[in-house]
Amino acid sequence: MNQEFKKTTFRDDYTFYNSPESIRRFPFPFWEDKYMYSVNIEPHVKGPAGSVYEFPIDINEHYVSEMADRAIVLKEDPLRCQALPHMMLAQWDFLELLMTSMARDYPQWFSLTTEGDHWHWINKPLGIDQKFTFGDPSTLPQEPMEYIGRQCQGDFSIQDQRDGQLWMDAGIITTQADWSLDFDVGMNFMEWHGPVPLAHDMKVFDRALKFLLNLQLGQPVRRLNWTMTINPRLDTSPENFHKWGSDRTTVTPENVGDKVHLRVELQALFRLPRSNAILFSIRGYLIKLRELVTVPKWGRRLPRVLGSLPMELIDYKGITRYRDTTLEWLAKYDDGQPTSPGGGPD
Active site residues: 223
Q: Does 238 bind another protein (CB under 8 A)?
A: yes
Q: Which of 94, 192, 280, 298 binds another protein (CB under 8 A)?
A: 192
Contact between 197 and another protein per CB under 8 A: yes
Check residue 320 for interaction with another protein (CB under 8 A). yes
Q: For another protein, which stretch binds (CB under 8 A), given 111-119, 135-143, 182-190, 256-264?
A: 182-190
Backbone φ and ψ for 199, nearest 5 degrees, come out as -65, -30
> How many Å apart are CA 262 and CA 266, to the nearest integer?
13
Phi and psi for 4 in degrees, rounded to 5?
-65, 150
Residue closer to another protein by CB (options 59, 90) is 90
Q: Which of 120, 200, 207, 332 binds another protein (CB under 8 A)?
A: 200
With binding defined as CB under 8 A, does residue 318 bind another protein?
A: yes
Return the number of the residue (187 or 327) whose C-beta is nearest another protein.
187
Distance CA 213, CA 210 (A): 5
* Nearest one of 282, 285, 259, 257 to 269, comparing CA atoms: 282
**Spatial CA neighbour of 231 closest among 73, 19, 10, 27:** 10
Is residue 193 near another protein by the rule CB under 8 A? yes
With the C-alpha atoms ordered 302, 308, 314, 317, is the resulting torsion angle positive or negative?
negative
CB of 17 to another protein, least distance (A): 26
**What's the angle, vertex CA 259, arms to CA 261 and CA 171, rounded to 5?**
45
Q: Within 20-79, which residues bind another protein (CB under 8 A)? A: 79
Query: Is residue 147 close enough to count as binding another protein by CB under 8 A?
Result: no
Per CB under 8 A, does 124 bind another protein?
Answer: no
Tell me the H-state helices in 175-295. Answer: 181-184, 189-192, 204-213, 241-244, 256-259, 289-292
Indicate which single residue of 33, 61, 105, 182 sits in contact with another protein (rule: CB under 8 A): 182
Q: How far is the CB of 257 from another protein (least distance, A)?
A: 21
Q: Which stretch binds another protein (CB under 8 A): 115-123, 195-203, 270-278, 279-287?
A: 195-203
Residue 183 sits in the site that holds another protein (CB under 8 A): yes
Exposed / middle / buried, residue 305 (Cβ in 10 Å: 0-12, 13-18, 19+): middle
249 binds another protein (CB under 8 A): yes
Q: How many residues in the chain? A: 346
* All residues at 6 or more sequence positions from 163 whose CB lies less than 8 Å from its CB, including other chains: none
Residue 7, judged by CB atoms within 10 A of its CB (0-12, 13-18, 19+), counts as exposed
| Residues of span 263-302 touching another protein by CB under 8 A | none
- The reply to whether 206 sits near another protein by the rule CB under 8 A is no
Residues in the interface with another protein (CB under 8 A) total 34
- Residue-wise DSSP of 205-230: HHHHHHHHHTPPTT--EEEEEEEEEE
Across 219-230, b (16+ Cβ under 10 Å) vs e yields: ebbbbbebbbbb
Which window, 21-29, 110-118, 176-184, 252-260, contacts another protein (CB under 8 A)? 176-184
Residue among 111 and 165 whose Cβ is closer to another protein: 165
Per CB under 8 A, residues contacting another protein are 79, 163, 180, 182-187, 190-195, 197, 200, 238-246, 248-249, 312, 315-316, 318, 320-321
